[in-house]
């Protein structure tokens, strides 16, 4: 049975070119992950604040190197794409930003991010998210980007608001964390917002 609409983004929209490096224009760069980032990612995941809001732990640098290998390969699979967020001047790792759960045919993806403890409070997550959203919506042609965070994570809610992701509602008991089920806010941006 044929579809009545055409895909928003065709297969190969991303994978036909190398993953880009995206400068924010204000001192940050979103770049593909490198194996040598493993110690900094491992250190970031030792932070209790980061661990509180995530469902994954990093037990060793070797485990993180495996993640990075997955992140490097993900571009070609066009389902999840990860960028390191680094200081443009010295390449110091400050965080991560990603498009997850991408469905190219529908033009939809989920934005995710984290920052290192030392980068917190400096607008890193908002600057990286704003750059990623602009690229995904305006340059690539995604129709909708979603962003979810635990309702109790007020810092993530501020990032969503600062970057133009409108609050659409609350998903009750939507994600299991180490401390139990979290209600999640659902925010979104659509092309043209």
Residues 75 and 12 sit within 8 Å (Cβ to Cβ): no
Select from 42, 137, 54 the least CA-distant residue to 99.
137
CB 156 within 8 A of CB 150: yes
In this structure, the strands spanning 144-150 and 93-103 are unpaired
Instruction: Note the pTM of the prediction, 2 decimals.
Output: 0.94
Check residues 2 and 111 and name the one with the higher pLDDT: 111
How confident is the model at residue 31, as a pLDDT?
98
- Mind listing the pLDDT tens digit for each residue in 159-184? 999 999 999 999 999 999 889 999 99
Q: Where are the beta strands (DSSP E) in the chain?
A: 22-23, 28-31, 81-87, 93-103, 108-115, 144-150, 166-177, 180-190
Mean pLDDT of 100-105: 96
Least-confidence region, from 1-15, 59-73, 119-133, 160-174: 1-15
CA angle 21, 63, 108 (to 5 degrees): 45
pLDDT on residue 171: 96
Query: Average per-residue pLDDT in the chain?
Result: 96
Overall size of the chain counted in residues: 193
How many Cβ atoms sit within 10 Å of the Cβ of residue 102? 24
User: pLDDT at position 122, please?
Assistant: 95
**3-state helix vs strand vs coil in the chain, percent to 5:** 35, 30, 35
pLDDT exceeds 90 at position 190: yes
137, 145 contact by CB (below 8 A)? yes
Question: What's the confidence (pLDDT) of residue 97?
Answer: 98
Which tokens is 47 given? 């932070």
In this predicted structure, the answer to whether residue 4 has a pLDDT above a threshold of 90 is no
């Amino acid at each position: 049975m044929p579809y009545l609409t055409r895909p928003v983004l065709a297969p190969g929209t991303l994978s036909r070119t190398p993953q880009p490096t995206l400068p924010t224009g204000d001192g940050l760069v979103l770049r593909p992950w490198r194996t040598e980032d493993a110690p900094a990612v491992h250190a970031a995941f030792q932070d209790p604040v980061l661990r509180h809001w995530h469902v994954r732990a990093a037990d060793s640098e070797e485990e993180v190197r495996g993640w990075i290998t997955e992140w490097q390969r993900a571009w070609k699979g066009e389902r999840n794409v990860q960028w390191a967020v680094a200081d443009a001047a010295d390449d110091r790792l400050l965080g991560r930003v990603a498009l997850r759960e991408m469905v190219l045919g529908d033009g939809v993806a989920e934005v995710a991010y984290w920052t290192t403890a030392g980068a917190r409070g400096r607008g890193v997550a908002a600057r990286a998210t704003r750059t990623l959203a602009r690229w995904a919506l305006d340059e690539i042609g995604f129709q909708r980007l979603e962003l979810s965070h635990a309702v109790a994570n007020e810092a993530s809610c501020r990032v969503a608001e600062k970057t133009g992701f409108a609050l659409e509602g609350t998903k009750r008991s939507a994600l299991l964390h180490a401390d139990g089920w979290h209600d999640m806010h659902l925010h979104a941006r659509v092309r043209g917002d």
